[in-house]
Structure 1
């Protein structure tokens, strides 16, 4: 699960830098308060500017900002990378007020689809195989939503009349809860779903059974 690994690297580094900056400023502030406090007979400094010191400070902040922007951009790029040696499974995700619909265009006839109402525990499950690239294509029927999988540390916005896409890969079986992370109306808080990773054999059987059910319903 590459997204989670990349997020952990970025979060750890940015937290370390933020902590270092905070501690440095706190120490300098304490030094200024304790060592430079007014004493009897001490005249306050008449100097209002320190251009050289300020330029060093500005340069350091600029260098840190540039480094963080570049590092984060490269990390986002790594999140989107897929293993070209793995087969790819395509999934179409459609968000609507207030639930989700998952389609499998690679299934027989492209008929396999899963949806729900997101009410009273009726949450749809996005079933995916392990050991494959999962190419997810997102769109919305109405307003802006956001597909968020907290356990994977990954989120992407979902827009109407537009398609966003990203690639996931699961190295183990499991089930995780997903949510809508963009306020989208009255029942936004109930707009959850499950994502379930199963073995390729189990996924194939699941797709065949759902495709057969869809064919029977159509008939």
Structure 2
């Protein structure tokens, strides 16, 4: 999946940078402590400032900061490129304590929901290879749609619509959750996201309210 791949690249690189900075600071600190203990008669420096050393330190930090900002912005651009064709639209509504997925582009407006109790979990059906625009809102309190395995997460607010676009390149089914504490049964707000072939998706979408989620 493109999103998961980009997320993995960004996370790996930023973890390496953070690790290098941490080890460098730790090494310098350890060197200073060991040198101080080994030479207790060292006279403290009379200089109150070291502008050249401080400028070098600030310069290195600035280079790291600029690189991380530019790199992250570039990866974000890669992830959210404008789709070549109009995306499939799904209106997602969170409520205490489950989800509703509505498909306004269907001939007969389709809607999938559930109670999020036991096995009664709603399924978000999407086609593979097509951009899918999710429009998130909430009926009551703040919720957050999260699919851990695919690295997608976005908050759903009352009286507000958040939008993001995803493209799944292979068929499959993944568990989604609510990532924002929203009350007593927050922990049960699970759902499925299922990617099927475009042909299967079109048949399901136009099949009317009597046709269930593709097997």
TM-score (norm 2): 0.90
2:191 to 166, 190, 193: 193
Contact 1:124/1:194 (8 A) holds in 2: yes
**Partner in structure 2 of residue 119 of structure 1:** 117
**Partner in structure 1 of residue 205 of structure 2:** 207
Contact 1:118/1:192 (8 A) holds in 2: yes
Q: Distance in 1 between matches of 2:78 and 2:91?
A: 22
Equivalenced residue count is 211
After TM superposition, the structure 1 = structure 2 runs for residues 1-219 of structure 1, keeping only pairs within 5 Å, are: 1-39=1-39, 41-84=41-84, 86=85, 88-109=87-108, 111-209=109-207, 211-213=208-210
Which ranges of 4 or more aligned residues in structure 1 deviate by more than 4 Å? none
Q: Distance in 2 between matches of 1:39 and 1:8?
A: 46
Residue deviations 1:38-57 (CA, integer Å, cap 9, x gap): 53643333444322212211
Consecutive unaligned residues of structure 1, counting only runs of 5 or more, are: 215-219
Q: How much does 1:176 deviate?
A: 0.5
Kindly indicate which of the two structures has a greater share of residues assigned to helix. 1
Q: CA RMSD in A?
A: 1.9
User: Secondary structure of 1:37's match?
Assistant: helix
Q: Distance in 2 between matches of 1:212 and 1:42?
A: 84
Residue deviations 1:149-190 (CA, integer Å, cap 9, x gap): 111112111111111111111111000011111111111111
User: Secondary structure of 2:210's match?
Assistant: helix
Q: Distance in 1 between matches of 2:193 and 2:32?
A: 54
TM-score (norm 1): 0.88
